[in-house]
Chains A and B, each alone.
Chain A
Amino acid sequence: MSTLFGVSTQALFGQLLLGLINGSFYAMLSLGLAVIFGMLNVINFTHGAQFMMGAFVAWMILNWFGLPYWAALVIAPIVIAAVGIVLERLFLRRLYHLDHLYGLLLTFGIAIIIEGLFRYQFGSSGQAYDNPIPGGQNLGFMFLPYYRGWVVAVSLAVCLGTWYVIERTKLGSYLRAATENPALVQAFGINVPRMIMLTYGFGVGLAALAGVLAAPMQNVSALMGTNLIVVVFAVVVIGGMGSIMGSIVTGFALGIVEGFTKVFYPEASNSVIFVIMAIVLLIKPAGLFGTAR
């Protein structure tokens, strides 16, 4: 058994790969949050609950309608995005004129409601969701399940695709302009409230997609989103709120850092992201890729 830095290479690469997989989720979720925050200036606390709902929709359409995983990948984000849009129109919109903290509090309250309802209906021990691509490849230094490789691939594709749309296309430029100066952009005839609504829906859809990706790996349970969301917030703070590329890069990077920590100092693996956040705040309060707002 070869060793690297005193730890077996199998363990090291194994945990790094797991870290990359976790990083995929951090990246996708923090991307959604960053997009929403950039447009609406709202911290979407409901993100974790929407992630969880995505996974549940996948489970529901499998168990109630017999639709497989591949259908869920498309259906769940659309369904949950629609729910998100309703939320935005009915509730969030009323708070834009107030201190942004109220948006945070509202989404927090909604997150609690959603989690409570799902816990009531489904209990919290979770439901099983089968792995659509079972089996794996023995890479020599570790055994990589096919499904987990698929997750990384999808996540990279979606993140880079989103970045491209926002930074390099006309639609994206409208979005960015509306973020900076909504009144002016509206004066040009662009329907800004509709863009806001759709942006929120898109960010929420990203969360739901992450949920579908997670369903075969973890238990589909009402508690899936709650603890994940706080880590994602830390990721967004480190990356710089509102920076698209920042949240993607930071998400993957922090997943890998966490993986590293699990090998060398497992007790700290839960907190390492927060420690990094504290350090970044001391040195560069706007975040690694952010600009002070």
Chain B
Amino acid sequence: MQRYVIPIILIALALVAPAVVYPVFLMKALCFALFALAFNLLIGYVGLLSFGHAAFFGGAAYITAHTVKVLGWSPELGILAGVLAATAMGVVIGALAIRRQGIYFAMITLALSQMVYFYALQAKFTHGEDGIQAVPRLPMFGFIHIHNDLTLYYVVLAIFLFGFWIVYRTIHSPFGQVLKAIRENEPRAISLGYNVERYKLLAFVLSTALAGLAGATKSIVFQLASLTDVQWQMSGEVVLMTLVGGLGTVFGPVVGAFVVVTMQTYLAEYGEWVQVIQGVIFVIVVLLFRRGIVGEILALWRRQRPAPAVAPAPAE
């Protein structure tokens, strides 16, 4: 029972948060938190740094925006369409990228997502620089009126919790254990008989599907899908969020996302300084705090416990 205390407190906080905090800001943070969770699945648990995750986030956003605005689909179908699109892209890009590892993998994902960006720049349905605007907030499932920001917030929270649950279950499953084994020592995993390529691809596709879910939801919340969502700077941002929060921890990406979104919102007046500050944080975290906020907290906590605890720590 004890292990559920923290999650329950957090969920309770999340339920009442809109009373204190601007709901649109919360929704933005939740979408990015989901995006970061998806990204972290790959880097934290499989050891693959994808520098092109914006392709899935933004690609799904475009598909969802298009189906809802132009084809008139209701939001839940639009989101589903976005997720499927992201998954499809994930299969193709993943199949190509998995062939290499480490830095090469990162470069390939970056370059392939640039291709997606250029396609988005030119395709008719994305409207280039204008983006897909004024995506209507039609009632979800026919009766949930998400036109109201507050109602939409709870829907987004539900989507986020669903995504979080999937990530959590994946990590704490036999599949997740094999992924960790691959990250630790790939040749040994191969020698044990695991089809390592298949596992990596599966993890990649799962990650892209969740990134797509985040992007699709974002386009419904902001009623807009634009080039910003598929640019490589967006890929860089999700890396920043995950690093700051804590690579390879369950809550790290969520914390990181909230920190970065908060910073962007409150420093928005300062234009370029936001970018500089993000860069400085990036550098400091890479040099000194590689474990990220949550990672450092966990390390501190573990150091303070007298006996090696058997209690399941959320990170490992």
Task: Tally B residues with Cβ within 8 Å of A.
Answer: 39
For the A-B complex with A105-B243, A277-B108, A278-B96 known, give 20 more contacts whose Cβ atoms are closer than 8 Å: A99-B102, A101-B49, A101-B106, A105-B239, A105-B286, A106-B282, A106-B283, A109-B283, A112-B276, A113-B275, A230-B110, A234-B111, A237-B108, A270-B122, A274-B112, A274-B114, A275-B115, A278-B115, A281-B99, A282-B99
CA distance A152 to B138 in the complex (A): 56
8 A Cβ contacts from B278-300 to A? 278-283, 286-287, 290
B131 within 8 A of A: no
Q: How far is the CB of B248 from chain A (nearest CB, A)?
A: 12
Q: Please, which residues of chain B bring their CB within 8 A of the CB of A271?
A: 114-115, 118-119
Say which one of A67-75, A115-123, A205-213 lies at the interface with B.
Answer: A115-123
Chain A, interface SS category: helix
Q: How far is the CB of B73 from chain A (nearest CB, A)?
A: 28
Tally of A-B residue pairs with Cβ under 8 A? 116
Q: If A237-B104, A274-B111, A282-B96 touch, does A106 touch B276 (CB 8 Å cutoff)? A: no
6 A-B interface contacts by CB (under 8 A): A112-B278, A116-B272, A274-B112, A274-B115, A278-B115, A281-B100
Contact of A110 (CB < 8 Å), options: B106, B118, B233, B279: B279
- B232, A230: Cβ atoms closer than 8 Å: yes
Q: Please, which residues of chain B bring their CB within 8 A of the CB of A110?
A: 279, 283
Chain A residues within CB distance 8 Å of chain B: 43, 91, 94-95, 99-102, 104-106, 108-117, 119-120, 226, 230-231, 233-234, 236-237, 241, 267, 270-271, 274-275, 277-278, 281-282, 285
Interface centre among A106, A108, A115, A267 (most CB of B within 10 A): A108
- B103, A104: Cβ atoms closer than 8 Å: yes
Interface centre among A91, A114, A120, A241 (most CB of B within 10 A): A120
Q: Please, which residues of chain A bring their CB within 8 A of the CB of B99?
A: 281-282, 285
- A91, B96: Cβ atoms closer than 8 Å: no
- A100, B102: Cβ atoms closer than 8 Å: yes
- A281, B108: Cβ atoms closer than 8 Å: yes
Chain B residues within CB distance 8 Å of chain A: 49, 96, 99-100, 102-104, 106-108, 110-112, 114-115, 118-119, 121-122, 232-233, 236, 239, 243, 271-276, 278-283, 286-287, 290
The residue of chain A having its C-beta at the shortest distance from the C-beta of B95 within the complex is: A282
- Closest 5 A-B residue pairs measured CB to CB? A109-B282, A112-B279, A113-B279, A116-B275, A116-B276
Q: If A117-B276, A270-B121 touch, does A233 touch B103 (CB 8 Å cutoff)? A: no
Q: Please, which residues of chain A bring their CB within 8 A of the CB of B49?
A: 101, 104-105
Contact of B107 (CB < 8 Å), options: A43, A109, A114, A278: A43
Q: Please, which residues of chain B bring their CB within 8 A of the CB of A94?
A: 287
